[in-house]
Amino acid sequence: MERVSPAHIAPSDLAWSGLMAAAQAGDRQAYDRLLRDCIPHIKRVARRTGVRPESLDDVVQDVLITVHRARHTYDPSRSFAHWLGAIAQRRAIDHLRHRGRQERREISDDLAYDAFPDAGTTPEGALERDTREREMRGAVAALSPGQREAVELLAVRQRSLAEAAAETGKTKGALKVNLHRALKTLRARFDGAE
Amino acid sequence: MATDRRLDDVVARLSADLAPVRRLPSPPVRAACWIGIAAVLAAGLALSCDLPALGRRLMVAPDMWLAVLASTTTAVLAALAAFELSVPGRSARWALLPVPALVLWMSASGLGCLRTWTMPDGGGMGEGGMGEARHCLLNIVLISVPLMAVMAVMVRRACPLRPNLTALVSGLAIAAASATLLNFDHPYDASAVDLAAHLVAVLIVMGLNQVVGARAASGRASMPRP
């Protein structure tokens, strides 16, 4: 269906096909060059699909990992740009869906904002908040490196388990265990301090 | 820039993890393998059934021939479509490939049902019809289990970007193949209850495959360990 004769493939696409065929045979240099060359193309597809600029790198990372996992499915007699574009578009749509679900879960209550004063607006409140933040930073810094990494990625930067696993190379299970242990340690520390 | 460094790091880790891979055989070859496994199952069932009786039954009711032919064609085309859909970059329109055969299959089964319905002894809605319908339902679901397991493994080997659509079409292939194989063990022509049982079984198999297949196919991408 999308099979195209070599005469109809753009020169850069032909070069990519060659690099991917070499990568399938285990050529790491060709693979490294191919992945780096692909990044602008992936960003273009993601941007066209509607991904916001601040999320482009997340989508690119997801696409590169999918390319790695699916590299055996590429047929060098077909267009590489088309194969890559399909992966990039699908991952961009997955990202937009995930983001949409996240935004639907988060609600804003304007009345609540009006009715409750921000504790940080009074000098005492601001002081108390500063103290709490300092204590919390100290407690997180005192955690083991693995537990600290789990707290920073999952709790502070609000990454999903899959994203954190992709970023650190650790399994989702290991991250969950580290997060639970970290929360237990923090809870014990603050419960004891009260 | 921090983001460029992050992508550099991703590329470096993926390149370091690179190992030679065996290219995936083409979808028609993979579909032929799966159909071959279904054919082996058919041969096994043929050994244990009354083949002359099956032949007589098919001779007496030409629409049964048509229904068998259409369910077989649906299974073959749906299998081919499922394996095409499991490869990145292939058009979603492949999902339409088995639709004409599916319509023919349902129509031919409906004809058999209509004929039985107009027979003087009733439309098979009695106790016997219900028992036969239960028998069909159970058999289609049981026959589909090995076919579903093989299909799940084969589809997972590719990288379906539309896991739900792929699972739906492969579920149709499994259900159509199971319904075809059921003919070896089916002593009656289709009755209304029987046809409903086939439909329910097809939907159960497609639903089961949707859950099992889509979960198997949509394993999220994760970074290789350093």
For residue B32, pLDDT beyond 60 = yes
Backbone angles phi, psi at A79, to 5 degrees: -70, 125
CA distance B203 to chain A (A): 27
pLDDT tier at B123 (50, 70, 90 boundaries)?
A: very low
| Cβ distance of B221 and A66 shorter than 8 Å | yes
CA B226 to centroid of chain Cα atoms: 39
Position A86 scores a pLDDT of: 93
Q: Which residues of B touch A64 (CB under 8 A)?
A: 7, 10-11, 14
What pLDDT score does B148 carry? 85
* Structural domain boundaries in chain B: 25-217
Report the pLDDT value the prediction gives residue B120, as an integer from 0 to 100.
Answer: 55
Q: Does B20 touch chain A (CB under 8 A)?
A: yes
* Residue B1 in contact with partner chain A when CB distance is under 8 A: no
Banded pLDDT at B222 (limits 50, 70, 90): low
Partner-chain contact B10 A36, CB within 8 Å: no
Residue A152 has what pLDDT? Answer: 86
pLDDT of residue B20: 93
Give B214's pLDDT tier (boundaries 50, 70, 90): low
Give me the residues of B, 135-164, that contact A with CB < 8 A. Answer: 158-159, 161-162
The pLDDT assigned to B161 comes to 86
Question: CB neighbours (10 Å) of residue B140?
Answer: 23
Q: Give residue B217's pLDDT band: very low, low, confident or very high (50, 70, 90).
A: very low
- What is the rounded distance in angstroms from the CA atom of residue B95 to the CA atom of residue B105? 17
CATH class of A120-189: mainly alpha
Instruction: Note whether A169 contacts B224, CB cutoff 8 Å.
Output: yes
B52-95 pLDDT, tens digit each? 777 777 777 777 778 888 989 999 999 999 999 999 989 999 99
Residues 6+ apart with CB under 8 A from A149: A168, A178
CATH class of A6-105: mainly alpha
Most confident of A156-170, B10-24, B202-216: B10-24
pLDDT, chain B, mean: 78
| Main-chain dihedrals φ then ψ at residue A46, nearest 5 degrees | -65, -40
User: Are B172 and B104 within 8 A, CB to CB?
Assistant: no
Q: How confident is the model at residue B106 (pLDDT cuts 50, 70, 90)?
A: confident
pLDDT at residue B195 is higher than 90: no
Residue A23 parent element (H or E): helix A11-24
* Chunked mean pLDDT (size 10), chain A, 194 residues: 50 86 93 93 92 90 92 92 92 90 71 60 71 84 88 84 84 88 84 56
pLDDT level of residue B226 (50, 70, 90 thresholds): very low
Mean pLDDT, residues B147-162 taken together: 86
Say if A55 is an interface residue toward chain B (CB within 8 Å).
no
Q: Domain residue spans in chain A? A: 6-105, 120-189
Q: Which residue of B has its CA nearest to A92?
A: B161
Are A26 and B18 inside 8 Å of each other by CB?
yes
Q: How far is B129 from chain A (nearest CA, A)?
A: 46
